[in-house]
């Protein structure tokens, strides 16, 4: 039986991020993907149509449909948007079938949408992050969670990972996609740091990188891969997706989810 995974996240109508990125990634990584949609984001770099949330009842109903009919071996959360949705999702996952919970604390999209309300950050720290197997903040998200100044070196990322670990997850993965020199991510398990290094690829078309990375980690965890191996595979997957991006000719384009399958992970200049 193929491993089964659920994403609880927002829909990104333009296709590069959110639920759309998660499901494409799950398919590429050969796991059975399911989705409970929290909100619909109808924004891109050209047009801003808005964000439309689902009711709590609708989010819960989707969760139970996936959990009861199919079940899941790992789950990830993405855009949760409000305190109310965070509270609901934390309650569901606390009683859920697996501890393999990947929390991507999505806050602001690269196209400028606010995907988590400011007044929801505290609850995310209190209720959701302590349930996580791994959290995957980017540098901005780590700064907001810790209410600290700029995290812009690998030394600062290590310190941030240590402090975030105090919130209760089993692992912290701080993503350095916005570092100037290189794209290094730092994994911390409470005692050991592991760095995942990649030279910076010169492109603006990285929309969906974070979602696809955490979705790939979720897929590998569902296959019972240990955390380091899961992150290593996911890093190769997302690196290929960034190296062969989709440029739609207007604004920021998308990471390409099929790239790892088609071209492997040989990064060329
Ligand atoms: N230009 C780039 N070149 C290579 N890797 C990148 C680049 N931008 C982001 N990454 C990698 O993509 C993954 C997602 O990181 P990041 O872009 O920081 O997340 P988010 O999309 O949540 O902001 C990380 O592994 C990061 O190191
Ligand atoms: C609906 C929705 N969810 C999450 C994101 C953020 O995606 P991410 O891959 O972390 O980053 P960018 O897409 O902003 O590069 C999103 N944009 N939309």
Residue nearest to atom 10 of ligand 1 (CA): 177
* Domain enclosing residue 27, as ranges: 4-246
Q: Is residue 98 part of a domain?
A: yes
The H-assigned helical ranges of 197-264 are: 209-222, 227-243, 259-263
Q: How many domains would you assign to the chain?
A: 1
Residue 145: inside a domain: yes
Q: At what angle do helices 209-222 and 227-243 cross, to 10 degrees?
A: 140
Cα dist. 185→50, 182, 213, 223 in Å?
Answer: 32, 9, 11, 22
Report angle CA 217, 222, 223 to the nearest 5 degrees. Answer: 100
Tell me the torsion sign for CA atoms 78, 153, 150, 267. Answer: negative
Mutate-to-test residue for ligand 1 from 140, 142, 175, 207, highest number of ligand atoms within 8 A of CB: 175
Residue in 110, 210, 260, 269 to alter for ligand 1 test, most ligand atoms within 8 A of Cβ: 210
CA–CA dist 238, 176 (Å, integer):
13
Report residues whose beta carbon is within 6 angstroms of any ligand 1 atom.
138, 175-178, 183, 185, 198, 200-201, 203, 206, 209-210, 213, 235, 238-239, 242
Ligand 1 center from residue 181 Cα (angstroms):
12
- Nearest protein CA to atom 10 of ligand 2, as residue: 210
**Distance from C-alpha of 164 to C-alpha of 146, rounded to nearest angstrom:** 7
Whether 259 is covered by a domain: the verdict is no
- In the reported structure, the alpha carbon of residue 210 is separated from the centroid of ligand 1 by a whole-number distance in angstroms of 6
258 found inside a domain: no
145-to-128, 142, 231, 244 alpha-carbon distances in Å: 12, 5, 22, 32
Q: The pTM is what?
A: 0.97
Taking alpha carbons only, the member of 95, 90, 87, 88 closest to residue 68 is 95
CATH code, domain with 214: 3.40.1190.20
Tens-of-pLDDT digits for all 269 residues of the chain? 999 999 999 999 989 999 999 999 999 999 999 999 999 998 766 666 789 999 999 999 999 999 998 999 999 999 999 999 999 999 999 999 999 999 999 999 887 889 999 999 999 999 999 999 999 999 999 999 999 999 999 999 999 999 999 999 999 999 999 999 899 999 999 999 999 999 999 999 999 999 999 999 999 999 999 999 999 999 999 999 999 999 998 889 999 999 999 998 765 54
**255 domain-assigned:** no
Instruction: Establish if 253 belongs to a structural domain.
Output: no
């Amino acid at each position: 039986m193929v491993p089964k995974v659920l994403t609880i996240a927002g829909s990104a109508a333009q296709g590069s991020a959110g639920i759309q990125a998660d499901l494409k990634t799950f398919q590429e990584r050969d796991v059975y993907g399911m989705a409970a949609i929290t909100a619909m984001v109808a924004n891109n770099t050209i047009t801003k149509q808005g964000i439309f949330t689902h009711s709590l009842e609708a989010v819960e109903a989707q969760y139970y449909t996936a959990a009861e009919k199919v079940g899941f071996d790992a789950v990830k959360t993405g855009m949760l948007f409000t305190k109310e949705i965070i509270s609901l999702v934390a309650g569901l996952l606390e009683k859920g079938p697996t501890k393999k919970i990947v929390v991507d604390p999505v806050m602001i999209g690269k196209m400028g949408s606010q995907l988590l309300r400011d007044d929801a950050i505290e609850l995310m720290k209190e209720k959701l992050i302590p349930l996580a197997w791994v959290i995957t903040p980017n540098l901005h998200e780590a700064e907001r969670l810790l209410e600290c100044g700029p995290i812009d070196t690998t030394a600062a990322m290590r310190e941030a990972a240590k402090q975030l670990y105090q919130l209760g997850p089993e692992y912290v993965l701080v993503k350095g996609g916005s570092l100037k020199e290189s794209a290094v991510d730092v994994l911390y398990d409470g005692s050991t740091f592991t760095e995942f290094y990649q030279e910076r690829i010169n492109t603006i078309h990285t929309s969906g990188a974070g979602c696809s990375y955490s979705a790939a980690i979720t897929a590998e965890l569902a296959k019972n891969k240990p955390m380091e191996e899961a992150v290593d595979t996911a890093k190769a997957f997302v690196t290929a997706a960034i190296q062969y991006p989709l440029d739609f000719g207007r604004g920021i384009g998308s990471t390409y989810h099929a790239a790892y399958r088609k071209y492997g992970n040989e990064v060329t200049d």
